Chain A
Amino acid sequence: MSAAMRVRDDDLFRYILRLGDLSLVLGQRLGEWVGHSPALEEDLGLANIALDLIGQARLLLGYAGEIEGRGRDEDQLAFLREHGEYLNPTLAEQPNGDFGRTIVRQVLIDAFQLELYEWLAGSTDLRLAAIAAKAVKETRYHLRYSGGWLVRLGDGTEESRTRVSSALERLWSLTAELFAEDEVDRAMADRGIAPRLADVQKAWNARIDALLAEATLERPPDRPYQWFGKQGAHSEHLGYMLVEMQYMQRTYPGARW
């Protein structure tokens, strides 16, 4: 690889892609609910959260493209990368399942993004700080919605409680990846661009524990298991999702509205 082909700041590029891909993939998943939600209000709610997430992804992927310096814009990064080039944590790509499972996935990620963005709003990278300061307001609102539903479903009927409990059990092992620090995370923290993931985890634990207590749900035990979506090794689900998401650009390259 020639020097000109190397990304100028590969760590920052990968870090911003991770953030952008998390929002994009989760936004695409929520978009799958449109027209299928249990009630019109939830259709609106999930679609609105999806819109915010995709808006955040546009800002982040646009910035990532500039850092990369090869002329790829937000659309090329979103629609023309292979699944192994996606750097979202594996939790984000998990299928929607029922409404309860979607809410559990949402709570776990909303709380993560909230802690992250609160810190990133003061990042030494001013462009990222500006995006985070915008995103944190939206994310706070998302958690208010998803957290509210977790409490209602957990402390609800026998049926709703059974469903969210099993979703929590199912998704919990994927949360370890959110806080698994690798060389990219370490480099970003050393430069004051991003927080130490251990600190994020502490704050996330406190928030999640409080929500679970209010929802009368038990926190599942941590298991020694980890996924590697942040490094590009995904579950089987991402490929299927991307096939649908990227269909239009793959079939009609360069198509515009």
Chain B
Amino acid sequence: MNALALFDPAAAVADARIASAWAALREVEDPEIPAVSLVDLGVIRFVTAQSDGSLEVGLSPTYTGCPATEVIQAMVERALAGAGVGEFRVVRVIAPAWSSDWITPDGRRKLAEYGIVPPDHSSSSLRDLRPGCRPVACPRCHSTHTETVSEFGSTPCKALLRCRECLEPFEYFKCI
């Protein structure tokens, strides 16, 4: 087998551009939770090379009304322009719908270190309205004796909880 015959220079260039786009995107912090990157959050769905030579970047909003979505798109465009990946366009992707299950293991660790309890895995049943049975552990003292103060928090993606042992309030990343 002749390796040279299989080498496609155009594809290799495209691959390199895609790799630098991902590298640039990994550096973009979420505007409201700077501890994690957009890649960690799973909102960057794909980077692909198009037939016209441009890159297409798929961006999924976490919530339809999340006010940070426009800021995020602007940040993505700035990062890609700065990384010199050539022509690109950012498209909004709503299907499949973003799920908190898409947060990477690295992202979960960073959230926890930042003091936000990462989401449980989302329920497979859409008819299940009750919060997960698994108690959420306090990020400070790790007690599972916690209570929900509010289903909604300071951003659309978080809920507000309180530890009943150490009385510390803390945030929980909503699981959807």
Contact = CB atoms under 8 A, between A and B. Distances in A.
Contacts of A148: 151
Given A50-B65, A53-B65, A126-B95, 11 more contacts: A41-B150, A44-B160, A52-B64, A56-B64, A118-B126, A130-B95, A133-B96, A133-B97, A134-B95, A136-B126, A138-B64
A42 to B, nearest CB: 8
A54 B97 contact: no
B95 A144 contact: no
B63 to A, nearest CB: 6
Interface in B69-97: 94-97
A58 B150 contact: no
A126 B96 CA distance: 11
B67 to A, nearest CB: 7
Those 5 A-B pairs whose CB atoms lie nearest each other, nearest first: A55-B65, A55-B64, A130-B95, A51-B65, A41-B150
Q: How would you classify the secondary structure of chain B's contact residues: helix, strand, loop or mixed?
A: loop
30 contacts: A41-B160, A44-B153, A44-B154, A45-B150, A45-B151, A47-B152, A51-B63, A51-B65, A52-B156, A55-B63, A55-B66, A59-B64, A118-B126, A126-B95, A129-B95, A130-B94, A130-B95, A133-B95, A133-B96, A133-B97, A134-B64, A134-B94, A134-B98, A135-B64, A136-B126, A137-B99, A137-B176, A138-B63, A140-B126, A143-B129
A235 interface: no
B151 A137 contact: no
Nearest to B128: A140
A48 B156 CA distance: 6
Contacts of B153: 44
Interface residues of A, number: 35
Interface in B149-175: 149-154, 156, 160, 174
B134 interface: no
A48 B140 CA distance: 27
A51 B156 contact: yes
A188 interface: no
A98 to B, nearest CB: 20
Contacts of A33: none
A144 B97 contact: no
A17 to B, nearest CB: 17
